[in-house]
Structure 1
Amino acid sequence: MFDLGTSFLASVARDPGRIAIVDGDLRLTYAQWYAKISGLATGLEQLGLAPGDHVLTLLQNRFENATLHWACQFAGLVVTPLNWRAKGDEVDYVIENAEAKAVFCEAATADAVADAALAASLPRIAVDGEVFAGMIDSAAPDAVPRADAEAWSLMLYTSGTTSKPKGVPRRHRAERAAALAHVAQNRYAHGEVTLGVMPLYHTMGVRSLLAMSLIGGAFVCLPRFDVERALALIAREKVTNLYLVPTLYHDVVHHPAFEVTDTSSVRKLGFAGASMTDGLLRKLAEAFRPELFVNHYGSSEIYTFTIEDDAPAKPGSAGRAGLNQIIRVVRLGAAGPNDLAATGEEGEIIALMRGDEAFEGYWKRPDADARALRGGWYFTGDTGFFDADGDLFVTGRVDDMIITGGENVSPVEIESCLSLHPAVLEVAVVGLPDERWGKVVTAFVKRGVAVDHETLDAFCRDSGLANYKRPRAYVFVDAIPKSPVGKLLRRLLVAGEYTSETAPPAGG
């Protein structure tokens, strides 16, 4: 298989005059972008960086970040991106863990880098400064790939909840296989235009960047998510596909500007990162009327687990295994990959490690490998079940399972039910400690109009939700806590880290 540098060269040869990247008023063709990438690859070498070195980045989704990603692929460097909101101690941890040899930042992240003690001894380059501009604009020989398909391309860091983040190193061949699968599974056509808003420290953002290069597509940078700016770019650049987390879709379709923005160019929708409620699925299908609406279920470790390419037709379904994968559901607490759950039985989802898109183990974390990698399978920590049709339903995390009165209750099913009530804008369900029940099912609701506990309880009962699954408590909040990429943070609700509703909405 091609390494990623060679892959980009093929794109340049195939589509030299096509627009490859857009950032504000900047518009570059593949040939023009290759010249910038070549200049930066030369500059990286002149910094003393050698193939195999890790380069730490704290950057938003801007042209310079995307260019640095590609220059590292040519130079054989391992891009090691960190959430641009990271603090100094987090920067220090990654520098030490990855043995990073250089740090790239921008104005928004300069303070964090300055607060990191270990960064002081490394080259620190601001991409909005003169040094970086000199490298990227320099007249340099055309970049030649210095890595092969077996070299490391990228190391993402998973978000840590109770422990330090884990490095997920990925080879060129796995990255390209994932991008090819992304193109095929989303049925992208030649010359697609995508909104580059999912961060390039996240697997979804990287996949969007690589996938566009394979099809002569355009990556339209949106440094940080802003609904009005996103809608303006969709209209101006005639964006053809969106690949977002459910939270961002929610914010887009509920914004007043959506109704007056021309989004007719968007024909393909894809989502990942979290389950999408039935209510949001329905609203998006009605609002965009897309040709394709894909639920992509995967992870940083193994990009694709399953694909459902008609998400509204079977709400909640994550579909079947992707092109490069085999999926199983094993019993909760299973010792190995052959202790299979029955059809309809909730268990832990596992994925075959031999898949083309898979990582090979965590960076310097044998303890994490021992927990997650068993018998040639990756134990995802997600819960789910196969239905009678053979489709996978993801019900949550093993750690999120609510055991109430001896019954296992998945929060996702309850959230999907409540999301269909017209007064509910967002909802998250957790189990809170209870002396009698062990955990009591509790719904945290952001409401659009006034609605009370009794009305929502009656709605759940009338919907057919099993009695033991109905929330016994409701908390109305101003916002549901989420990660920077829109993942629901149930643990914060359990810990009491939320703000109760400051004022009830007007009557419905």
Structure 2
Amino acid sequence: MFDLGRSILASAERSPDAVAIIDGDFRLTYAGWLDRIRRLVGAFDALGLKPGDRIATALQNTWEMATIHWACQLAGIAVVPLNWRVKADELDYCLPNAEVRVLFYQDVSAEAVTQSAAARALPCVAVGGAEAADDRGPDRRFSDLLAADPAPAVPRATPEHVSLFLYTSGTTGKPKGVPRRHRAERAAAVAHVAQNCYRRGERTLGVMPLYHTMGVRSLLAMALVDGCFVCLPRFDTTRALELIAAERLTCLYLVPTLYHDLLADPRFAATDVSSVRKLGFAGASMTDGLLKRLDAAFRPELFVNHYGSSEIYTFTIDQNAPAKPGSAGKAALNQRIRIVKLGSIDPDDQAAVGEEGQIAADLAGDESFEGYWKRPDADAKALHAGWYFTGDMGLIDAEGDLFVTGRVDDMIITGGENVSPVEIESVLSLHDGVLEVAVAGLADERWGQRVVAFVKRAPGVQAKDLDDHCRISGLANFKRPRDYVFLDEIPKSPVGKILRRKLQTGEFALEGVPRQAPAVP
């Protein structure tokens, strides 16, 4: 099969004059982009890098970041993309852990680079206007690297080379390294094209970060269909709406939080979004209310719920998400899934139809990783008898569709009953006065845990209104929130995932109170 270096060469050969990447006023055709990619490979050679080496980035979604990613694929070098908000101690852990040879950074990550001993021990390359020189003198500049002679247009990787080295977010403890080979990355990109019905020449918003599996998939998929990746370095609803209209974007692939923010922007109603015909989401469950609002606002031809992970890109796909709210669909092109009884690590110990259990995916799938980097403890927890135990809970209904009901660790146990936060969030999201909601279990002397709803509300909405809504919704009484806490913002990760642990530890600001609030009494 093709490696990804051959993939970008093929795109440039098919459509040399098609616009490949846009970053503000900066535009490159596939022919022009390939020239810069080859020059960067030539610069890698001058730096002494070889196939199998690793470079790290701490960059936003810019044309430079995308160019580095593709140059690594052509050169057979693995890219280790780190969050541009990375802290010095995270660099001190990740850089030596991944055995990185060179680090690329920009102004937003320069302070962390300066403060990291591991970073300053490496050759560093400043992108854009970044400056983090120390007593060794100024760092190399990315613009200077592009002055190198272009390397031959010959791929140096095989499908077995490592393409990408992702670090999971690591909600507790150190993040886990996830090495992914060219064959798995390309299989995931091809599946993404097929499952989202992308046609040649699609145009997407490149805002999901390129240190996240969703961002990488958008980048690769656009190249496979000779499409255009329109960079948005940092999510901003005004700029996103401008780009959708001005660049006539045809498809969006975002986390639910970003869709929510787009619809909430007062400028949305006046923005021409008619070019967008395909919506996709991943990274978190989407509430029933948001699904309905998006379907009405965009009227897309295709609305895909994609469920997957860094380790195995796709678990399941539902190509008509609004038709069955909450459903993550059926196993994807390259995958098989099972629901394993809670507490079991035997993939053959399957739950009955409609019974909640842990979701497991077949490690033989084409998109799968092969294990965590230097983390036998993590392998022992997640990998069993050829199956990857996701840590997610779910059930399969009578029609064979998967419903993801939350994380195993997020399950609320109240009075001996298991309660899924996602179910309650979906019910509350249907109330017109709920702008955002997250549900968590807080310690309770009598019940063990009590169900608490944290809500970003419209003006005038009271707790009684929400409680009445739950009572008439059909939600079982023991699942009803016992407390409502009103916040200005729900705590989320950089890619929009709700951080329930922050709700449980009181790391939030109450509505109208610009400070950290104590835990709910």
Q: What TM-score does the superposition give when structure 1 sets the normalisation length?
A: 0.98
* Greater Cα offset, 442-451 or 374-383: 442-451
1 CA distance for matches of 2:182 and 2:63? 22
How far off is 1:207 after superposition? 0.2
Matches within 5 A, 1:29-44: 29-44=29-44
2 CA distance for matches of 1:139 and 1:256? 49
Residue in structure 1 matched with residue 373 of structure 2 by the alignment = 363
**Counterpart AA for 1:46:** A
2 CA distance for matches of 1:256 and 1:8? 39
SS of 1:429's equivalent in the other structure is strand
Matched, 1:435 2:440: no
2 CA distance for matches of 1:137 and 1:220? 25
How far off is 1:459 after superposition? 0.4
SS of 2:472's equivalent in the other structure is helix
Residue in structure 2 matched with residue 206 of structure 1 by the alignment = 216
2 CA distance for matches of 1:189 and 1:320? 23
Residue in structure 1 matched with residue 107 of structure 2 by the alignment = 107
How far off is 1:322 after superposition? 0.4
SS of 2:315's equivalent in the other structure is strand
2 CA distance for matches of 1:261 and 1:453? 34
1 CA distance for matches of 2:176 and 2:407? 18
Instruction: Please tell me whether the aligned partners of residues 42 and 149 of structure 2 are also in contact (alpha carbons under 8 angstroms).
Output: no
Identity of paired residues, percent? 67
> Deviation digits for residues 156-197 of structure 1, max 9, x if unmatched?
000112210000000000000000000000000000000000
Matched, 1:46 2:51: no
Residue in structure 1 matched with residue 203 of structure 2 by the alignment = 193
Residue in structure 2 matched with residue 410 of structure 1 by the alignment = 420
* Corresponding residue to 2:501 among 487, 491, 500: 491
How far off is 1:142 after superposition? 3.5
How far off is 1:457 after superposition? 0.8
Instruction: Please tell me whether the aligned partners of residues 36 and 137 of structure 1 are also in contact (alpha carbons under 8 angstroms).
Output: no
Residue in structure 2 matched with residue 469 of structure 1 by the alignment = 479
**Counterpart AA for 1:271:** F
Matched, 1:400 2:410: yes
2 CA distance for matches of 1:9 and 1:137? 21
SS of 1:8's equivalent in the other structure is helix
1 CA distance for matches of 2:402 and 2:168? 24
SS of 2:40's equivalent in the other structure is helix
> Deviation digits for residues 444-486 of structure 1, max 9, x if unmatched?
0110122222211110010111111100111111110000000
Matches within 5 A, 1:77-476: 77-128=77-128, 131-476=141-486
**Counterpart AA for 1:333:** G
**Counterpart AA for 1:187:** C
Residue in structure 1 matched with residue 12 of structure 2 by the alignment = 12
**Counterpart AA for 1:348:** Q
Instruction: Please tell me whether the aligned partners of residues 105 and 124 of structure 2 are also in contact (alpha carbons under 8 angstroms).
Output: yes
2 CA distance for matches of 1:141 and 1:385? 51
SS of 1:100's equivalent in the other structure is coil
SS of 1:416's equivalent in the other structure is helix
> Deviation digits for residues 335-388 of structure 1, max 9, x if unmatched?
310110011101000000000000000000001000000000000000000011
**Counterpart AA for 2:322:** P
Runs of 5+ consecutive residues of structure 1 not aligned to the other structure: 504-508
SS of 2:101's equivalent in the other structure is strand
Matches within 5 A, 1:18-33: 18-33=18-33
Runs of 5+ consecutive residues of structure 2 not aligned to the other structure: 130-139, 514-521
2 CA distance for matches of 1:406 and 1:247? 32
2 CA distance for matches of 1:382 and 1:140? 46
How far off is 1:138 after superposition? 3.9
2 CA distance for matches of 1:198 and 1:137? 29
SS of 1:52's equivalent in the other structure is coil
2 CA distance for matches of 1:320 and 1:309? 10
* Greater Cα offset, 124-133 or 61-70: 124-133
How far off is 1:136 after superposition? 2.0
- Aligned residue pairs total 503
**Counterpart AA for 2:37:** I
2 CA distance for matches of 1:481 and 1:119? 30
How far off is 1:139 after superposition? 4.2
* Greater Cα offset, 211-220 or 9-18: 9-18
Residue in structure 2 matched with residue 506 of structure 1 by the alignment = none
Moved over 6 A (4+): none
